[in-house]
Chain A
């Protein structure tokens, strides 16, 4: 690519990273060349959209989970030496919004460990869904995750899951938080995304924070690569605000993490916090900013406590 061309791309790319609740940026891109680049963008976006499955809550199959729990248990118990505390705090029935911090790049172990823990504790029969980035479910090898209760992250899907009386796990920080540098391991960073608070207020469901540590030690995460993502227009095309750079097995230098990596066997600890009844704690019309700040604050204090317990990286 010539210098002049790359300068054009830089100039056209949005200068700020959208942190608006995971919704696509609404900045008009008036200066985009109307040529091949935008046609190509349109084609890619259309392809990806076509691949995103519509959420059908009945695709979740308890027997699929029953078949898969043993190997998840093996991986969690012997590879990650996972410890999950406080599951008894989760209301035993009814809809609940579980809010987690997300760590470990595209091979984030906290998700499957929590799915294992929740399904073992309450039984595979309890309806439980997890919101995932659209791209995750668009990838053919990962489509089977739908049987385990994974649905594409959208307002409609989230509302539908809670309306059906299910537990719903969300990671507000998503791709932004999961690729944070390893030295920010003990930082809750939702990137300002507050959609989950609005969802909980709207649906009047309890929020149960789930704090995890250890994921950021499964590789050496160096940078989110936000500038690189913007430069390549990935935020517009694929809702990817990052193009992470890490040192990971078996690649060495790992740019993008699109093919995943082999996570190091870091000890993973999860702590479930007390449920928060938003209306009881913050009044009938809770202020989303205040609620967000309070929830992030509680999670941050818990994460710092978990970090203080760790003596060595990876070993735990």
Chain B
């Protein structure tokens, strides 16, 4: 199952990138994320690992993810190393008239046959809401800091 949400941020792509590349921002702007801890020495970039937890329904699903693509300032992708199978991706694209298009994708897979498939499907709206609210918060915070920079 893959869930995708998009938004447009009224700020230069570099500022959006700077925000999503910083691991310390994730706990505060990602809805449902209860922890996002750097594992090891590398804080960001290709190969960085994070212990993450996301609240979905009654469970707080933990796992470890690793950054597998880091194409500044356009794309960040990760895949799970431990915990539930998942892949995620940020895609940033400069708009012609200014601003940045932001796409956030989260794909996940659960075991457990038919019931696993039902669980995946029923989790999708919860995950979708989390992603949508995360993008809203990202837009609010990046636009807020962009206005401060412009002043």
Contacts and interface: CB of A to CB of B under 8 A. Distances in A.
- A and B are interacting partners: yes
Nearest to A125: B82
Top 7 nearest A-B pairs (CB, nearest first) are A77-B57, A70-B119, A70-B112, A120-B59, A76-B58, A71-B115, A82-B58
B49 to A, nearest CB: 14
Nearest to B119: A70
Given A121-B53, A123-B82, A67 B116 contact: yes
Contact of A73 (B35, B57, B63): B57
Given A87-B60, A117-B60, 14 more contacts: A67-B111, A69-B110, A70-B112, A71-B116, A76-B59, A77-B58, A77-B122, A80-B58, A82-B58, A117-B58, A117-B59, A120-B62, A121-B61, A121-B62
B58 A81 contact: yes
Contacts of B137: none
Given A121-B53, A123-B82, A74 B60 contact: no
B115 A120 contact: no
B59 A77 contact: yes
16 contacts: A63-B111, A69-B111, A69-B112, A70-B111, A70-B118, A70-B120, A74-B118, A78-B57, A82-B58, A84-B59, A88-B34, A116-B59, A117-B58, A123-B62, A123-B83, A125-B82
B62 A84 contact: no
A200 B21 CA distance: 44
A38 interface: no
Contacts of B83: 123
Interface residues of B, number: 24
Interface in A60-103: 63, 66-71, 73-74, 76-78, 80-84, 87-88
Nearest to A84: B58
Given A67-B112, A68-B112, A123-B83, A73 B62 contact: no
Q: Quick one: which of A73, A121, A125 has the most chain B CB within 10 A?
A: A73
A274 B123 CA distance: 30
Contacts of A70: 110-112, 115-116, 118-120
Given A67-B111, A69-B110, A123-B83, A83 B116 contact: no
Contacts of B113: 67
A67 B56 CA distance: 17
A81 B57 CA distance: 8
A63 B112 CA distance: 10
A208 interface: no
A113 interface: yes
A71 B60 contact: no
Nearest to A122: B62
Interface in B60-100: 60-63, 82-83
A121 B56 CA distance: 11
A81 B58 CA distance: 7
A78 B122 CA distance: 9
Contact of B58 (A67, A113, A123, A125): A113
A84 B34 CA distance: 13
A73 B108 CA distance: 15
Given A69-B110, A70-B120, A74-B122, A121 B115 contact: no
Nearest to A85: B60
Q: Quick one: which of B59, B62, B82 has the most chain A CB within 10 A?
A: B59
